[in-house]
Amino acid sequence: MRNLRLTIAYDGSRYHGWQRQHGLVTVEGRLREVLSPITQTKVEMFVAGRTDAGVHAWGQVANFCTASQIEPERLRRAANGRLGPDILVRRIEEARPTFHASIDARAKHYRYRLWAHPDKPPYWLAPYCFHWYRSLDVEAVREAAQHLLGEHDFKSFETASKQPRLTTVRTICRLDVSRDGPRVRFDVVGNGFLYKMVRNIVGTLLEVDGGRRRPQELPGILEARDRAAAGATAPAHGLTLMRVFYAPRRPPPAGLQEQGWT
Amino acid sequence: MRNLRLTIAYDGSRYHGWQRQHGLVTVEGRLREVLSPITQTKVEMFVAGRTDAGVHAWGQVANFCTASQIEPERLRRAANGRLGPDILVRRIEEARPTFHASIDARAKHYRYRLWAHPDKPPYWLAPYCFHWYRSLDVEAVREAAQHLLGEHDFKSFETASKQPRLTTVRTICRLDVSRDGPRVRFDVVGNGFLYKMVRNIVGTLLEVDGGRRRPQELPGILEARDRAAAGATAPAHGLTLMRVFYAPRRPPPAGLQEQGWT
- Chain-chain contact of B123 with A87 (C-beta, under 8 angstroms): yes
- According to the model, what pLDDT value does residue B161 have? 87
- Chain-chain contact of A88 with B124 (C-beta, under 8 angstroms): no
Catalytic residue among B52, B86, B137, B176: B52
Interface of A with B (CB under 8 A): 9-11, 56, 58, 77, 80, 85-88, 90, 118-124, 126-128
3-state secondary structure of A22: coil
- Chain-chain contact of A88 with B9 (C-beta, under 8 angstroms): no
Mean pLDDT for all residues in chain A: 93
**Residue A260 confidence class, pLDDT cut points 50, 70, 90:** very low
3-state secondary structure of B243: strand
Burial degree of A119 (CB within 10 A; 0-12, 13-18, 19+): middle
Q: Under a CB-based contact definition with an 8 Å cutoff, are residues B20 and B32 in contact? A: yes
- Chain-chain contact of A126 with B86 (C-beta, under 8 angstroms): yes
Where do the CATH 3.30.70.580 domains begin and end in chain A?
2-95
Count of beta carbons in the 10 Å neighbourhood of residue B14? 15
Closest partner CB to B9 (pick from A77, A118, A122): A122
pLDDT in tens, B87-111: 999 999 999 999 999 999 999 999 9
In chain A, what residues touch B119 (CB-CB under 8 Å)?
A: 80, 88, 90
Mean pLDDT for all residues in chain B: 93
HSE-up of B135 (CA within 13 Å, CB side)?
5
* DSSP 8-state class, residue A142: H
Amino acid letter for position B166: L
Contacts 24+ apart (CB under 8 A), A177-182: A177/A138, A177/A141, A177/A142, A177/A145, A177/A205, A178/A138, A179/A116, A179/A136, A179/A138, A181/A117, A182/A115, A182/A116, A182/A117, A182/A119, A182/A121, A182/A135
Q: Under a CB-based contact definition with an 8 Å cutoff, are residues B53 and B12 in contact? A: yes
Closest partner CB to A123 (pick from B77, B86, B119): B86
- Chain-chain contact of B127 with A122 (C-beta, under 8 angstroms): no
pLDDT in tens, B193-215: 999 999 999 999 999 998 899 99
**Residue A248 confidence class, pLDDT cut points 50, 70, 90:** confident
Which percentage of chain A shows pLDDT scores above 70? Answer: 95
- According to the model, what pLDDT value does residue A261 have? 47
Closest partner CB to B120 (pick from A56, A85, A118): A85
Q: Under a CB-based contact definition with an 8 Å cutoff, are residues A69 and A15 in contact? A: no
Residues A117-146: what's their mean pLDDT? 95
Closest partner CB to A119 (pick from B56, B80, B127): B80
Q: Under a CB-based contact definition with an 8 Å cutoff, are residues A189 and A107 in contact? A: yes
Minimal C-alpha gap between B29 and chain A (Å): 18
- According to the model, what pLDDT value does residue B127 have? 96
Give the span between the Cα atoms of B38 and B90, in whole angstroms.
17
Residue B120, pLDDT > 60, answer yes
Residues B211-231: what's their mean pLDDT? 96
Q: Which of A12-16, A252-256, B134-138 is least confident?
A: A252-256
- Residue of A87, A115, A120, A134 to mutate, interface with B, max B Cβ within 10 Å: A120
Q: Under a CB-based contact definition with an 8 Å cutoff, are residues B241 and B49 in contact? A: yes
pLDDT in tens, A78-120: 999 999 999 999 999 999 999 999 999 999 999 999 999 999 9
- Chain-chain contact of B124 with A119 (C-beta, under 8 angstroms): no
pLDDT in tens, B6-57: 999 999 999 999 998 889 999 999 999 999 999 999 999 999 999 999 999 9
- According to the model, what pLDDT value does residue A254 have? 60
Closest partner CB to B88 (pick from A58, A120, A128): A120
* Buried/exposed A3-41: b ≥16 CB within 10 Å, e otherwise: bbbbbbbbbbeebbbbbbeeeeebbbbbbbebbeebbeb
Residue B262, pLDDT > 60, answer no
Three-state secondary structure readout of A157-204: HCCCCCCCCCCCEEEEEEEEEEEECCEEEEEEEECCCCCCHHHHHHHH
In chain A, what residues touch B79 (CB-CB under 8 Å)?
A: none
Strand B239-246 and strand B105-116: the pairing is: antiparallel
In chain A, what residues touch B87 (CB-CB under 8 Å)?
A: 123
Examine the residue annotation and report whether B52 is marked as an active-site residue of this protein. Answer: yes
Residue B260, pLDDT > 70, answer no
- Chain-chain contact of A122 with B85 (C-beta, under 8 angstroms): no
The chain A residue lying nearest B58, using CA atoms, is A122
Contacts of A198 (CB under 8 A, 6+ apart): A110, A112, A186, A188, A239
- CATH classification for the domain delimited by B2-95, as one of 3.30.360.10, 1.10.645.10, 3.30.70.580, 3.30.230.10: 3.30.70.580
- According to the model, what pLDDT value does residue B18 have? 96
Which residue from A227, A84, A217, A216 is spatially nearest to A156, judged by alpha carbons?
A227
Q: Under a CB-based contact definition with an 8 Å cutoff, are residues B152 and B170 in contact? A: yes
- According to the model, what pLDDT value does residue B183 have? 97
Q: What ipTM was predicted for this assembly?
A: 0.78
Residues A31-39: what's their mean pLDDT? 97
Which residue from B261, B243, B244 is spatially nearest to B252, judged by alpha carbons?
B261
The chain A residue lying nearest B118, using CA atoms, is A77
- Chain-chain contact of B9 with A119 (C-beta, under 8 angstroms): no
Q: Under a CB-based contact definition with an 8 Å cutoff, are residues B222 and B156 in contact? A: yes
pLDDT in tens, A37-50: 999 999 999 999 99
- According to the model, what pLDDT value does residue A252 have? 59
- Name residue A64's beta-bridge partners: A4
- According to the model, what pLDDT value does residue A253 have? 59
Which residue from B152, B142, B151 is spatially nearest to B186, judged by alpha carbons?
B142
In chain A, what residues touch B11 (CB-CB under 8 Å)?
A: 123-124
Question: What is the separation, in whole angstroms, between the first and last Cα of chain A?
Answer: 14
- Determine the angle formed by the axes of helices A138-146 and A197-209, rounding to 10 degrees: 130
**Residue A247 confidence class, pLDDT cut points 50, 70, 90:** confident
Which residue from B209, B151, B219 is spatially nearest to B177, judged by alpha carbons?
B209
Q: Indicate the fold that domain A106-245 takes in CATH.
A: Alpha-Beta Plaits (3.30.70)
Give the span between the Cα atoms of A128 and B81, in whole angstroms.
18
In chain A, what residues touch B127 (CB-CB under 8 Å)?
A: 85, 124
- Chain-chain contact of B87 with A123 (C-beta, under 8 angstroms): yes
In chain A, what residues touch B126 (CB-CB under 8 Å)?
A: 85-86
Which residue from A212, A230, A217, A189 is spatially nearest to A137, judged by alpha carbons?
A212
Interface of B with A (CB under 8 A): 9-11, 56, 58, 77, 80, 85-88, 90, 118-124, 126-128
pLDDT in tens, B126-137: 999 999 999 999
**Residue A230 confidence class, pLDDT cut points 50, 70, 90:** very high
Residue A259, pLDDT > 60, answer no
3-state secondary structure of A151: strand
- According to the model, what pLDDT value does residue A262 have? 39
- Chain-chain contact of A85 with B119 (C-beta, under 8 angstroms): no
In chain A, what residues touch B80 (CB-CB under 8 Å)?
A: 119-120
CATH code reported for the domain at B107-245: 3.30.70.660
Where do the CATH 3.30.70.660 domains begin and end in chain B?
107-245
Where do the CATH 3.30.70.660 domains begin and end in chain A?
106-245
Question: What is the separation, in whole angstroms, between the first and last Cα of chain B?
Answer: 14
- According to the model, what pLDDT value does residue B226 have? 96
